[in-house]
Structure 1
Amino acid sequence: MDENGTKIENITRPYQEGEDLTLTCDVYDGQPEPVVTWWRGSELLQQALSRTAGGHPRATVFRLRLTRADFQTRLTCRATNSNITQPVSTTIVVNMHLKPVSVEIKGPRGPLSAELPAQVICQVNGSRPEALIRWFLGPYQLNDTETHVISPNTTLGMLNFVPGDRDHGARLRCLASNSAASLTQASVSPLEDSWILDVH
């Protein structure tokens, strides 16, 4: 079960990086009282008879501050009560939303011609699900944009705009955040790359 008492079927709900993970494993019956262990792959995390709830041994593993390295980690709860019986176990997979790890405005950053259409591409890597990409020219958000997912961890943002003489020296920014995490973690700062425009 997760921290809300919800039974987990094979895979957890999506957790955010830095979020606490608490899992509880209930073991029923068994004489003598079974030893309950938690494993991450072949690594032993915890072993205990642990506290008892309603006569059933219960083992709990706390995973604080999940990192992206925990994505798709397999956690196994295993119970055994002797050296001659086969242990019983259940395994779940940790699902996570991952923040972007890099953002880059691609291509040459040469001079732009005033009043002529221009296209700029921004590549974001590491986000899961796809990145939310926003563009700003100075303080103003630009909306003539497209987003394309080109691989499970890579998102491209395309901006079409017409620069003017007044935009010379202005800062064009590409901001990237996780599209799912942005809905639940307003305080998470996006990654960004920027370009000082040279407009003639």
Structure 2
Amino acid sequence: MTGEVLREGESRVLTCQVMGGHPHPWVTWYRHGRPINLTSMMRDTLAVSLTSPRVTSRRLEEEEVRVKQLVRATREEDGAVYECRVNSHLSEQSLTTNVTLTVHYAPSTVTVKGPRVMTDDQHLTLTCFTNPAKPPAAITWLIQGTEIGTGLSTVREDEGGGWVTSSKLTHHLPESHNITQVTAECRAHHSATRKVINKRWSLKVIKRPGKPVVKIEGGDGSEVVAGSRVRLLCSSLGGRPQPSVTWVLSQ
């Protein structure tokens, strides 16, 4: 397995094989210094296989001891050190060899952060980041179902292993009086899986009302006769949702 890269979910069988020795040595697999197959520590063991415990031939009994260990590739197994130790009555020093697992795993989730409401004249600004992956995931963005690029992406190494990819999207919406909601989608792509890990984010689009205009109803200007009653009309063009109008009297 030296140099082989496993994808999350795959399985491999590690085999430790010892040739010769009389009396027969015993073989033990260790993970990070802890024994994981105690059965093979018995001194009278001739051959042990965790997947097939019976001895397959008389010749095997006479010439070798073989111990197998099944390993399933998970993100927790990335960097795990499996060591095979061989012990004998004739030596106090163990013979050892080891293998370090390399596991590639995709991010399990992506998270999007940003506002839930924006005005139609604002730039849309969102941030998306993955949880750890190895190697780093790639991020792409979609707006209203159309891919628009990768945004400004950065990658940082996570303390617990793997890398976190983040992307900041800044996008200006096309001018349209009909857009009331925008749906953005962050997608993470990774070589360890064909599945696309995605997260959608919806924003309500509001429209600023126009500058208020005050008119004197029935009048022809801003001058009125003292003591007379007048009706003032305040109007504002546009706005979504419908704006409210409040009168304030200044002394």
The aligned counterpart of 2:188 is: 176
Determine helix, strand or coil for the equivalent of 2:93. Answer: coil
Letter in 1 for 2:14: L
Cα offsets for 1:84-117 (capped at 9, x unmatched): 5211111221111122143211233331434x54
Determine helix, strand or coil for the equivalent of 2:65. Answer: strand
Question: Does the CA contact (< 8 Å) of 2:153 and 2:167 recur in 1?
Answer: yes
1:85 & 1:69 partners in 2: Cα distance? 33
Determine helix, strand or coil for the equivalent of 1:69. Answer: helix
Letter in 2 for 1:135: W
Determine helix, strand or coil for the equivalent of 1:111. Answer: strand
- Residue 68 of structure 1: which of 68, 75, 93 is its match? 75
Q: Who wins on radius of gyration, i.e. which is larger?
A: 2
Question: Does the CA contact (< 8 Å) of 2:74 and 2:103 recur in 1?
Answer: no
Q: TM-score, normalising length from structure 1?
A: 0.77
Structure 1 residues 51-90: aligned runs within 5 Å: 52=60, 55-64=63-72, 66-82=73-89, 84-90=91-97
Where in structure 2 are there 5+ consecutive unaligned residues? 49-54, 208-251
Letter in 2 for 1:157: S
Letter in 1 for 2:63: G
1:131, CA displacement in angstroms? Answer: 1.2
Aligned residues: 183
Matched, 1:151 2:157: yes
Q: Which has the higher contact order (CA 8 A, sep 6+)?
A: 1
Letter in 1 for 2:185: R
1:53, CA displacement in angstroms? Answer: 9.4
The aligned counterpart of 2:103 is: 96
The aligned counterpart of 1:5 is: none
Letter in 1 for 2:197: L
- Residue 20 of structure 1: which of 11, 35, 53 is its match? 11
Where in structure 1 are there 5+ consecutive unaligned residues? 3-7
Determine helix, strand or coil for the equivalent of 1:99. Answer: coil
Question: Does the CA contact (< 8 Å) of 2:150 and 2:167 recur in 1?
Answer: no
Q: In the superposition, relative to structure 1, how do residues 167 and 174 fare at CA in structure 2: closer, same or farther (>3 Å)?
A: farther
**Percent of aligned positions with the same letter in both sequences?**
23
Q: TM-score, normalising length from structure 2?
A: 0.63
Letter in 2 for 1:176: A
Question: Does the CA contact (< 8 Å) of 2:139 and 2:150 recur in 1?
Answer: no
1:78, CA displacement in angstroms? Answer: 1.0
Question: Does the CA contact (< 8 Å) of 1:125 and 1:154 recur in 2?
Answer: yes
2:88 & 2:8 partners in 1: Cα distance? 36
Q: In the superposition, relative to structure 1, how do residues 77 and 144 fare at CA in structure 2: closer, same or farther (>3 Å)?
A: closer
Q: In the superposition, relative to structure 1, how do residues 45 and 17 fare at CA in structure 2: closer, same or farther (>3 Å)?
A: same
The aligned counterpart of 1:160 is: 170
